[in-house]
Amino acid sequence: MVDEYGELHRPQFHFTARKNWINDPNGLVFHDGLWHLFFQHNQDAPTWGRMWWGHAVSRDLFHWQQCENALYPDDMGSMFSGSAVVDHENTAGFGADALLLFYTAYGKHAKPIRPTSQCLAYSTDNGKTWTKYVANPIVGWMEADNRDPKVVWHKSTRRWIMALYLEDDRYCLLSSSDAKTWTRSQEIRLNGDSECPDFFPIADDTGAEKWVFSGAGGSYSVGDFDGKVFVPETPVLQYERGRNGYAAQTWSNAPNNRRIQVSWMAGGRYPEMPFNQQLSVPVELSLAGSGGSVTLNRWPVHELDLLRVRTVSVGRETISKDKPMVAQTDAKLLDVSFKVFRQSAKGFYVVVRGHPIVFDWDAMTLSVETSGKSKMTEDRPFVKLPDTVMLDVRLIIDRTSIEVFLDGGSISASYCFLPDGYVNPLVLHSYSGEQIIEDFELHELVSTWKA
């Protein structure tokens, strides 16, 4: 008999539900020492279908305890994606520090069929129990399948701001003083993206407050927001380059002004497992640069370091066709970082449990052939690499996923995979000339389900 959370393809430090299907992370909020994670969840089957909001809590972003489901389908429909906030000032009248959930009621699963609408639920006991607002919906249907409300507090105007998906690549902003009555204002476009908006403030290198508007596919713009109008300063950029990163959301009310994000690793395959799909590792966001040249960096949160149990370090090694670098480990859970100097080689290969990560130095691209592909991200076959002779690489490796962070987090990419046959779990190859590896560090990680 297999131990719960010990199955063959069960991720060991990425969040998965105890059983059945999950997708988008929802309602991410920190309150009273707990990180709350809600998620799209079909409690009845390991496939997508009718949706509940699953719920889990953690004190360190890795050791999660799954709770009772927070939101259940009702006569308004299925419980689709949304967000959460702490109502510190009791603007909604449910009590100071009440937790507020904003979600889409997807009426196409209701009887009779109703369009989508935006609804509110609240908790006065730090998320143990939830009550749906009696006067739902708080925002009626607008057009198409408008959905996925992301709500944030705008301090200087003392108003709640809701980012909402409309249709195609179109979104809008709404505002409210009480979290119940909303007024629509600006429309925003993110060319080539759709669904699951996020909208949040973050400081740039000068300490100035900027705002980031992003979509489910990882596109984003950085700009200014005065409580009424978002003015982008950058073009539409991309923070997620991999095939399997989708529907990312950031935690609200995080301590020390941290901006922490997690995403659904869409399209992964977990054959004959009791669960289906996983989330990414939480990453901390920061802005590099300022003005129109500012970009978003992503880096695994420092809490991941607490899972390290054994470290292998190599100062410098030259690899070639006849001299690969074989990491001295038998572990499957790894946090690996190194610098690679490409020299005159045409390609560089990191083989993870029989699965190749290919750095093509001629084309300056990275590619990972994945076991699972999402129709929402299938147009991301390659990652464009910076044209430098030295590249910083960090790989976060779980049983069925590889997350790549390059150049200090300026480039990141998420992949799901199934291992192939192998002798050594991690091997670095160069088939066309020498390459130099420096500052190699491999950290074996412990399972969060056992630690």
For residues 449 and 451, what is the distance between their CA atoms, to the nearest angstrom? Answer: 6
For residues 29 and 70, what is the distance between their CA atoms, to the nearest angstrom? Answer: 14
* Cα 220 to Cα 147, 238, 240, 403, 436, distances in angstroms: 18, 6, 10, 20, 35
- Asked whether 294 and 285 are in contact (CB, 8 A), the reply is no
For residues 151 and 126, what is the distance between their CA atoms, to the nearest angstrom? Answer: 18
- Asked whether 279 and 264 are in contact (CB, 8 A), the reply is yes
- Active-site pick, 3, 24, 75, 205: 24
Strands (E), 266-377: 275-276, 283-288, 295-300, 308-319, 325-326, 334-341, 347-352, 355-360, 365-368
For residues 400 and 11, what is the distance between their CA atoms, to the nearest angstrom? Answer: 6
For residues 409 and 441, what is the distance between their CA atoms, to the nearest angstrom? Answer: 17
Q: Exposed, middle or buried: residue 283 (CB in 10 Å: 0-12, 13-18, 19+)?
A: buried
Which helix (H) or strand (E) segment is 189 a member of? strand 183-189
Phi and psi angles of residue 28, each rounded to the nearest 5 degrees, phi first: -75, 120
Reference 442, options 425, 423, 420; nearest CA is: 425
Q: Exposed, middle or buried: residue 359 (CB in 10 Å: 0-12, 13-18, 19+)?
A: buried
For residues 33 and 56, what is the distance between their CA atoms, to the nearest angstrom? Answer: 14
Alpha-carbon 435 to chain mean position: 33
User: 220-223 long-range contacts, Cβ below 8 Å, gap at least 24?
Assistant: 220/190, 220/296, 221/190, 222/287, 222/294, 222/295, 222/296
| DSSP, residue by residue, 245-258 | EEEEEEPBS-GGG-
- Asked whether 436 and 316 are in contact (CB, 8 A), the reply is yes
DSSP assignment, residue 356?
A: E
- End-to-end Cα, the chain, rounded Å: 20
Q: Is 24 a catalytic residue?
A: yes
Active site residues: 24
